């Protein structure tokens, strides 16, 4: 009997039109009615994830910033938080300045960029969240941050990740949520760490958890969960390590998993 379901948001719960289908919503509500905790596990900031959680009437702690922040929806209580180490943040900032990279910071659940460009505008539209411009990141870089993000060409980001791994990898979790998003968190700011925390918080075992996702940033929670599910539209590397591959995000893959493994598990 599964007790906890953690669902990635973009390209997993949401269709390409950025909606949650009625069928998926109904399946989630049925699971909740059966006593299962259903939560989101997203790279999005809390303010962005909160809007989606409210749409589907979730009233639970949600996993945000790739797992660096677990926070309750109603009263905003922080249950789990890991901030980027200041020394690593300073090194990453210097690297980005030296190489002319677009870097975004997340301070007090607000999004910051140094200039108003196409990259931050597109990110803002996708996440449905406003942004602030601070030309001097020196004023922000030592403040507590759940995440730092670089936006660029996918191949360039892959090369950057390889270059930075030996420099920052012992202090930072480096991952990709989309091909053109390279994200940096605390080493324990992963969806896997957050899922394990949520299981302990709820008093269930990891065998009683389901995790669903589509991208490499979902890897840790899919490996940690009792049932790790890759979407039909997932990257191939994730499908290879998943316990089960479901339909795509446009084919109600989340609904299929809930109905198969939770609602109709006894049939």
Structure tokens at 5: 């379901």
Q: Is 79 exposed, middle or buried (0-12, 13-18, 19+ CB in 10 A)?
A: middle
Dihedral angle over CA of 112, 131, 18, 188, nearest 10: 30
Strand order in the sheet with 61-64: 61-64, 69-72, 78-81
Scan for tokens 């191939």, then name that residue: 236
CA–CA distance from 220 to each of 6, 10, 152 (Å)? 12, 17, 24
Catalytic site residues? Answer: 8
Q: Where are the alpha helices (DSSP H) in the chain?
A: 22-33, 46-55, 86-99, 118-127, 154-168, 191-202, 219-224, 236-241, 253-258
3-state secondary structure 176-219: EEECCEEEEEECCCCHHHHHHHHHHHHCCCHHHEEEEECCHHHH
Task: Please list, in sequence order, all residues whose beta carbon lies within 8 angstroms of the beta carbon of residue 78, skipping any fewer than 6 positions away.
Answer: 69, 70, 71
């Amino acid at each position: 009997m599964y007790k906890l379901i953690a669902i990635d948001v973009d390209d997993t719960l949401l269709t390409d039109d950025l909606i949650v289908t009625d069928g998926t919503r109904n399946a989630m509500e049925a699971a909740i009615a059966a006593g299962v905790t259903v939560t989101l596990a997203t790279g999005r900031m809390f303010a962005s994830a909160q809007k989606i959680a409210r749409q589907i009437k979730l009233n639970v702690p949600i996993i945000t910033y790739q797992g660096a922040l677990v926070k309750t929806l109603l009263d905003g209580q922080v249950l789990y938080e890991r901030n980027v180490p200041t020394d690593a943040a300073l090194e990453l900032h210097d690297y980005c300045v030296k190489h002319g990279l677009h870097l975004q910071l997340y301070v007090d659940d607000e999004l910051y960029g140094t200039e108003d460009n196409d990259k931050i505008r597109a990110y803002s539209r996708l996440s449905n969240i406003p942004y602030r411009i601070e030309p001097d990141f020196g004023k922000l870089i030592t403040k507590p941050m759940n995440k730092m993000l670089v936006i660029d060409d996918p191949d360039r980001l892959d090369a950057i990740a390889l270059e930075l791994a030996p420099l920052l990898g012992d202090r930072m979790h480096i991952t990709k949520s989309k091909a053109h998003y390279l994200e940096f968190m605390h080493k324990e700011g992963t969806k896997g760490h957050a899922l394990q925390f949520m299981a302990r918080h709820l008093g269930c075992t990891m065998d009683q958890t389901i995790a669903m996702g589509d991208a490499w940033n979902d890897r840790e929670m899919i490996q940690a969960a009792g049932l790790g599910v890759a979407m039909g539209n997932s990257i191939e590397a994730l499908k290879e390590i998943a316990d089960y591959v479901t339909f795509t995000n446009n084919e109600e893959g989340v609904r299929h998993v809930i109905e198969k493994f939770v609602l109709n598990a006894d049939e």
